[in-house]
A = this chain, B = another copy of it.
Amino acid sequence: MSDNITAIHPSWEIIHGDALKVLREFAPNTFDAVITDPPYASGGRTQAEKNKSTDKKYSSMGESAPPPFDGDSKDQRSWTRWAAEWLYDARKVCKPGAPVCMFIDWRQLPAATDALQWAGWIWRGTAVWDKGNSRPQKGRFRQQAEYIVWGSNGDMPISRPVPCLPGVFKYGNPQNRIHLTEKPLQLMRDVVKITEPGGHILDPFAGSGSTVLAAVLEGYSATGIEVTDAYAALSRERIERELAQGA
């Protein structure tokens, strides 16, 4: 399938398959960047459940020293392990110095920085996507931002031909989303610019294909991996359609 797609579109492909399996089939030094929006919580508890269990757990703590780690993190722990696995495999097929960008929400951000570093990437910072339009909550701060945890595969020379990039991006959520977590295209066009010009970008969780589309629009080549058959097909159609419109 990927050969066929590659033949038609030399600069991009969407591979249908599981990220962990597909990643191991690439050769080392294949990619210049990893830019992706992984599933945020494979266990998927609600915030209320998390708060309740946390509350119960720590109300019994009394005067003694705090426990070493949050006990309601069983789901989070397995998420972290899983993330470390694919981050490791992704790093292994990247060139030295390649940047990595991972979208994440506030709750998984600490787990994401752990996983990134466990996988051998150097964590270099956190950029912010200000969504602007989240639902207000009385008596609370709005959760109106998502985060881009980013780093590099070893040293990242300041001499790379890449300009300075902003640290906060403000874009509203797109209308008519194909995928539930689809990011604004302009946001992705901004973020992929962390890659060296003309580089080959990997997105192991392609979803609706925004990263791949943005990469091609900005002059990069890109490989997306998507496990859900329907999204792999939908994203291919979307990218072809939007590239045809733009051309």
Binding site for B on A (CB under 8 A): 51, 54-55, 58-59, 61, 66-67, 69-70, 84, 88, 106, 109-110, 113-114, 117-120, 122-128, 130, 132, 134, 136-145, 148, 150, 154-158, 160-168, 194
Contacts and interface: CB of A to CB of B under 8 A. Distances in A.
Contacts of A127: 141-142, 145
Contacts of A113: 109-110
State the copy count for this chain: 2
Contact of A109 (B126, B148, B165, B168): B126
A164 B145 contact: no
A142 B164 contact: yes
A80 to B, nearest CB: 10
A113 B51 CA distance: 14
Nearest to A88: B66
A157 B139 CA distance: 9
A125 B141 contact: yes
| Most chain B Cβ neighbours within 10 Å, of A88, A109, A128, A167 | A167
| Most chain B Cβ neighbours within 10 Å, of A109, A119, A155, A168 | A168
Nearest to A113: B110
Given A110-B110, A127-B141, A194-B139, A120 B66 contact: yes
Contacts of A70: 114, 117
B166 A144 contact: yes
